[in-house]
Amino acid sequence: MGTILYAEDGRRFRNTAWSWRSLWGFVAQHCDGILSTRDVEQGMRNDGHLIANDVAQNLAACLEELLDQGEVARYEQFHQQYVESLPLVQCWLCAQPDFDPAAEECYVCHGDEVIPSPRAWYSLTEENVRQFVTFCRKSGGFRIC
Ligand SMILES: [Zn+2]
């Protein structure tokens, strides 16, 4: 499961579903007035929503400024601390009524009965933002699938 952006020239940009949601959420939060409410919502749905070239160029410019100001690095650090602070959650497989830990080893938690919070799957990195900026610059506009 993931998100693929298709540029007008056929190039692609791939993220996991979680890293895409983190990236798009960051963009929506920090690049005021570039995306419409519809862009923000449709961008989370992977249904082929089109981001026009002028919007893509504005996003690239906005994100480059945030990278230069260290805003992305600060956000990445903050997010990492948040993820590390999340409590472990009960293993979903061990919690199944028909799962018997005496009969088989749990391949999800390996017997720990707890796993990292699914919220830890969301991630935003400076590297990913830089890759997205490069993609936006060259894209000519793109579709979110
Ligand atoms: Zn388990």
Residue 16 included in any domain:
yes
pLDDT by residue (tens digit) across 35-75?
999 999 999 998 999 999 999 999 999 999 999 999 999 99
Q: Which of 3, 17, 9 is nearest to 122 (CA)?
A: 17
Query: How far apart are the CA of 97 and the centre of ligand 1, in A?
Result: 12
Range of the domain at 33: 2-87+121-144
Domain count, the chain: 1
Residue 41 included in any domain:
yes
Query: How far apart are the CA of 78 and the centre of ligand 1, in A?
Result: 29
Determine contact, residues 10/2, Cβ cutoff 8 Å.
no
pLDDT by residue (tens digit) across 91-119?
999 999 999 988 899 999 999 999 999 88
Residue 100 included in any domain:
no
Residue 62 included in any domain:
yes
Query: How far apart are the CA of 67 and the centre of ligand 1, in A?
Result: 40
What is the pTM (predicted TM-score) of this model?
0.84
Residue 129 included in any domain:
yes
Residue 92 included in any domain:
no
Query: How far apart are the CA of 80 and the centre of ligand 1, in A?
Result: 25
Q: 63-66 — which CB contacts under 8 Å span 24+ positions?
A: 63/27, 63/31, 63/129, 63/132, 63/133, 63/136, 64/133, 66/30, 66/31, 66/129
Residue 43 included in any domain:
yes
